[in-house]
Chain A
Amino acid sequence: MKKVIALLLALTLVFALAACGTKTEEPSAAPAASDDASPAVDVSAIKIGVILVHDENTGYDFAHIEGIKKAAAAVGIADDQIIWKYNVTEDETCYDTATDLVEQGCTYIFSDSYGHQSYMLQAAEENPDVTFVSMTGDNAALSKLPNLKNAFNYTFESRYVSGVVAGMKLAELVADGKVADKNKNADGTIKIGYVGAYPYAEVVSGYTAFYLGVKSIVENVSMSVSYTNSWYDPTAEAEAANALVSDGCIILSQHADSTGAPSACEALLKSGTEIYCVGYNVDMLSVAPTSALTSAQNDWSVYYTYAFNCAAKGEEIATDWAAGYEQGAVMISALGASCAAGTDAKVAEVEAALKDGTLNVFDCSKFTVDGKPVTSYLAIDTNGDWAGDTGEAITDGIFSESTLRSAPYFGIRIDGITELNAQ
């Protein structure tokens, strides 16, 4: 026994010594040769910190990781200039992580989740020399901090297009006589469903855009929205989907990050219930090859390329940045086999109209509230004093989304949409 102990103790010592020995060998950040284009700032000196709410296993974070890698390659930022922090919860851990990244020499720090933003703000206050970008956040302009930024895509555009795809399918189902009585309300409108994460503007803006997309093809539809109160909860999303379908919904879409709802739809379709779904972020065809039509997607590399280029040129990043189809920041994934004939052409037509500005998603003539058209909207009112913090959102009958600030603010509950379990 003593011999064994002696041996183990000796091993410990060896380990300890070896650990001390290796520490000094740690290579310092390799100074890459800077570009001969000689930008204002040495690109190789830029250090970027990334705070992710989950890791590559969720579609949302995966899209951000891909976007950052693509942008870094385009701008010439090496892998070792980016420090990744995964699974950072939306609490003080975010603040700790952000300040830790500052200590590691990061001069640009990005966080990808809405709940990170107040901790990013706290870190931004304390580190004025570092630029903090709270993706999908909405308080950069209001905070008046010059080093806090927000960015978002015109996700409502891709959702509208995905709605058009769903509408084409619905029109086909109507023509084939596959819409049964249980799929209709008493007033004859066809039931569609939506699985949402939280009842706030980002989600409301998204589902309204989807609904208007469907409605542009099939006029008599009504939509039920079921909230899961989580960005990522496969079980709850599947349950919500099952409940909506058993209530008679024939088309389903989602604003939540898992494959829960499409998987549930595929199982239902296989067992004989007519149901088709539209996903978000992830191409759902792998989990729902027959049920999935398409997914609304983001290409975050458009923004990250912009931001990294600003960093490389030593320019200020815009406080609020948003872009859509025109810049290639949003898109829909490849159409599934179940899509109706002619969907391709219709999608191309709608996309072209969105790009050249002839089509506006939130055209006030296309929706009503309590039977009346909307003419004015208090866009952003953070302090609850019923006076808008920024300007009027509706001009010339068009609700302009994501122009007053990058994060969506379309929070109007329009006719034809029912929230089932809003708090």
Chain B
Amino acid sequence: MNHKVKEPFVRITKRDSMPVWRGWLTRLIGLVLALIVCAIVIFAMVKLNPLKVYGAMWQGAFGSTKRIWVTTRDTMMLLCIGIGLASAFKMRFWNIGAEGQILVGGIATAACMIYLGGTMPTWLLLVVMFAVSAVAGAVWGVIPAFFKARFGTNETLFTLMMNYVAIQLTSYFVAKWENPFGSNTVGVINQTTKAGWFPAILNQQYLLNVIIVMALTVIVFVYLRSSKQGYEISVVGESERTARYIGINVRRVIIRTMMISGAICGIAGFIAVSGASHTISTSTAGGRGFTAIIVAWLAKFNTFVMILIAALLVFLEKGAMQIASQYNLNDYASQMITGIILFFILGSEFFINYRLVFRGNALREKGGETV
């Protein structure tokens, strides 16, 4: 039979594979194009020299030692959540409940600071808070995992709803611990004694944040890449049936992995409360549980690549704040720039995974490619 298929002007085909260097080159090109588009937008809207605006963004993130440390601290926070999400996502378990897991970890930490502050040495208190926040996060992660494993509930909705429960729980504790009375904020906990605050290491206030998160980065990298459990996670993620066929206890893997995922997000809550804000509020997670989803996915669950992505996102945020301040551009202008850059970076992933075949080219290739 003579098939007469009309060749569309352009069609999308999946790429077989792309050398790593070309992948990174594509991303770089995406970034450059994004900067060019942003430059045009900036100039068209506010008639500012785009190069100066970019310079200001750089200044905002890395302009002084203090700013570098704040940027690093926030990068570590985002990275920590991304690491927590990676194992769940690798298993194709849509954990969008990081916000809630962070919050319960934060509540646990704040409770320790309030009730145990001053009763034990700092190192012991930090260890206790680390453990308690991990347990709290793990519990928050295991609940949806248990229902998924047992009853096949939808984890996307379940983890999302758990966020709202956690937010309400936080409101409850904020009202309980509010200081001064009636202010509806907890205020800085232990402002005078600094009990339960991360101590400065080598005179650096945020070095401990870096140490904890970098340790997690390495551990989770090895865990996902080289351990038996890590292998089980990827098999369950690829195909649950295959996993069952080769004798993996899928339920156990789901529950165990979410326990780890939740625990790491809980630890992120510990770092946020004890290592940065020294308070707890419903905005402690601040949407970072959702931003970290981008971090985990863009890095394809490679925890070291996540460092880069997290740093880029935090850089954009700090840069946006700086240009808002320096050039009186309001928040929306900065958000547009961030949006354009993210769009291009996500877009470059598309071109890494797929290619466009135009009609002319397709006809030329026809001899070799048609089935």
Task: List residues of chain A with CB under 8 Å of any chain B CB.
Answer: 5, 8, 11-12, 15, 18-19, 22-23, 26, 55-57, 83-87, 89-92, 96, 99-100, 103, 114-115, 118-119, 121-122, 138-139, 198-201, 229, 382, 384, 411, 423
Contacts of B58 in A (CB 8 A): 19
How close is B323's CB to chain A, nearest CB, in angstroms? 11
Let me know if B256 is at the binding interface, CB within 8 A.
Answer: no
Contacts of B67 in A (CB 8 A): 100
The CA-CA distance from A423 to B185 in the complex, in Å, is: 13
Which one of A90, A91, A121, A384 has the highest number of Cβ atoms from chain B below 10 Å of its Cβ? Answer: A91
Residue contacts A-B, CB under 8 angstroms, 8 given: A18-B51, A19-B58, A91-B281, A96-B66, A100-B70, A119-B188, A121-B191, A229-B184
How close is B361's CB to chain A, nearest CB, in angstroms? 12
The CA-CA distance from A100 to B55 in the complex, in Å, is: 17
**Residues A85 and B321 in contact, CB atoms below 8 Å apart:** yes
Let me know if B242 is at the binding interface, CB within 8 A.
Answer: no
Given pairs A15-B51, A85-B321, A199-B184, 4 additional interface contacts (CB within 8 A): A86-B331, A119-B188, A121-B188, A198-B184
**Residues B32 and A5 in contact, CB atoms below 8 Å apart:** no
The CA-CA distance from A103 to B324 in the complex, in Å, is: 18
Contacts of B156 in A (CB 8 A): none
Task: List residues of chain B with CB under 8 Å of any chain A CB.
Answer: 25, 28-29, 32-33, 35-36, 49, 51-52, 54-55, 58, 64, 66-67, 70, 171, 175, 180-185, 187-188, 191, 276-279, 281, 283-284, 286, 321, 324-325, 328, 330-331
**Residues A55 and B331 in contact, CB atoms below 8 Å apart:** yes
**Residues A92 and B278 in contact, CB atoms below 8 Å apart:** yes
Contacts of B278 in A (CB 8 A): 92
**Residues B32 and A19 in contact, CB atoms below 8 Å apart:** no
**Residues B181 and A384 in contact, CB atoms below 8 Å apart:** yes
**Residues B182 and A200 in contact, CB atoms below 8 Å apart:** yes
Contacts of A96 in B (CB 8 A): 66, 70
The CA-CA distance from A89 to B342 in the complex, in Å, is: 23
The CA-CA distance from A324 to B278 in the complex, in Å, is: 36
Partner of B55, one of A22, A121, A229: A22
**Residues B330 and A57 in contact, CB atoms below 8 Å apart:** yes
Which one of A11, A100, A139, A199 has the highest number of Cβ atoms from chain B below 10 Å of its Cβ? Answer: A100
How close is A327's CB to chain B, nearest CB, in angstroms? 27
How close is A308's CB to chain B, nearest CB, in angstroms? 20
Contacts of A23 in B (CB 8 A): 55
Contacts of B35 in A (CB 8 A): 15
Which residue of chain A has its CB nearest to the CB of B324? A86
Which residue of chain B has its CB nearest to the CB of A25? B52
Which residue of chain A has its CB nearest to the CB of B180? A382
Partner of B49, one of A22, A114, A201, A411: A22
Which residue of chain A has its CB nearest to the CB of B280? A91
Which residue of chain A has its CB nearest to the CB of B328? A84
**Residues A8 and B29 in contact, CB atoms below 8 Å apart:** yes
**Residues B32 and A11 in contact, CB atoms below 8 Å apart:** yes
Given contacts A15-B35, A22-B55, A91-B277, contact A198 B183 (CB under 8 A): yes
The CA-CA distance from A138 to B183 in the complex, in Å, is: 11
Contacts of B33 in A (CB 8 A): 8
Contacts of B49 in A (CB 8 A): 22
Contacts of B184 in A (CB 8 A): 198-200, 229, 423
Contacts of B70 in A (CB 8 A): 96, 100
**Residues B330 and A56 in contact, CB atoms below 8 Å apart:** yes
**Residues A122 and B188 in contact, CB atoms below 8 Å apart:** yes
The CA-CA distance from A22 to B36 in the complex, in Å, is: 17
Which residue of chain B has its CB nearest to the CB of A57? B330
**Residues B331 and A115 in contact, CB atoms below 8 Å apart:** no
Which residue of chain B has its CB nearest to the CB of A229? B184
Partner of A87, one of B28, B188, B324: B324
The CA-CA distance from A210 to B119 in the complex, in Å, is: 47
Given contacts A99-B66, A384-B181, contact A85 B325 (CB under 8 A): yes
**Residues A423 and B175 in contact, CB atoms below 8 Å apart:** yes
**Residues B32 and A118 in contact, CB atoms below 8 Å apart:** no
**Residues A89 and B183 in contact, CB atoms below 8 Å apart:** no
The CA-CA distance from A384 to B177 in the complex, in Å, is: 13
Partner of B191, one of A11, A92, A122, A229: A122
The CA-CA distance from A92 to B276 in the complex, in Å, is: 6
**Residues B188 and A118 in contact, CB atoms below 8 Å apart:** yes
Partner of A114, one of B181, B183, B277: B183
Contacts of A100 in B (CB 8 A): 64, 66-67, 70
The CA-CA distance from A55 to B328 in the complex, in Å, is: 10
**Residues B328 and A198 in contact, CB atoms below 8 Å apart:** no
The CA-CA distance from A92 to B189 in the complex, in Å, is: 12
Which residue of chain A has its CB nearest to the CB of B36? A11
Contacts of A8 in B (CB 8 A): 29, 32-33
Given contacts A22-B51, A85-B321, A99-B66, contact A198 B182 (CB under 8 A): yes
Contacts of B185 in A (CB 8 A): 90, 115
The CA-CA distance from A89 to B279 in the complex, in Å, is: 13
Which residue of chain B has its CB nearest to the CB of A122? B188
Which residue of chain A has its CB nearest to the CB of B176? A423
How close is A58's CB to chain B, nearest CB, in angstroms? 12
The CA-CA distance from A18 to B50 in the complex, in Å, is: 11
**Residues B279 and A91 in contact, CB atoms below 8 Å apart:** yes
How close is B189's CB to chain A, nearest CB, in angstroms? 9
**Residues A118 and B325 in contact, CB atoms below 8 Å apart:** no
The CA-CA distance from A199 to B67 in the complex, in Å, is: 36
Contacts of B330 in A (CB 8 A): 55-57, 86
Contacts of B187 in A (CB 8 A): 118
Which residue of chain B has its CB nearest to the CB of A55? B330
The CA-CA distance from A4 to B2 in the complex, in Å, is: 40
Given contacts A12-B32, A86-B331, A122-B191, contact A103 B64 (CB under 8 A): yes
How close is A228's CB to chain B, nearest CB, in angstroms? 11
Given contacts A22-B49, A114-B183, A201-B182, contact A83 B191 (CB under 8 A): no
How close is B20's CB to chain A, nearest CB, in angstroms? 16
The CA-CA distance from A91 to B73 in the complex, in Å, is: 14
Which residue of chain B has its CB nearest to the CB of A227? B184
The CA-CA distance from A299 to B330 in the complex, in Å, is: 23
How close is A155's CB to chain B, nearest CB, in angstroms? 17
How close is A204's CB to chain B, nearest CB, in angstroms? 8
**Residues A84 and B325 in contact, CB atoms below 8 Å apart:** yes
**Residues A19 and B181 in contact, CB atoms below 8 Å apart:** no
How close is B265's CB to chain A, nearest CB, in angstroms? 18
Which residue of chain A has its CB nearest to the CB of B172? A423
Partner of A138, one of B25, B64, B180, B325: B180
**Residues A22 and B52 in contact, CB atoms below 8 Å apart:** yes
The CA-CA distance from A55 to B330 in the complex, in Å, is: 7
**Residues B182 and A89 in contact, CB atoms below 8 Å apart:** no
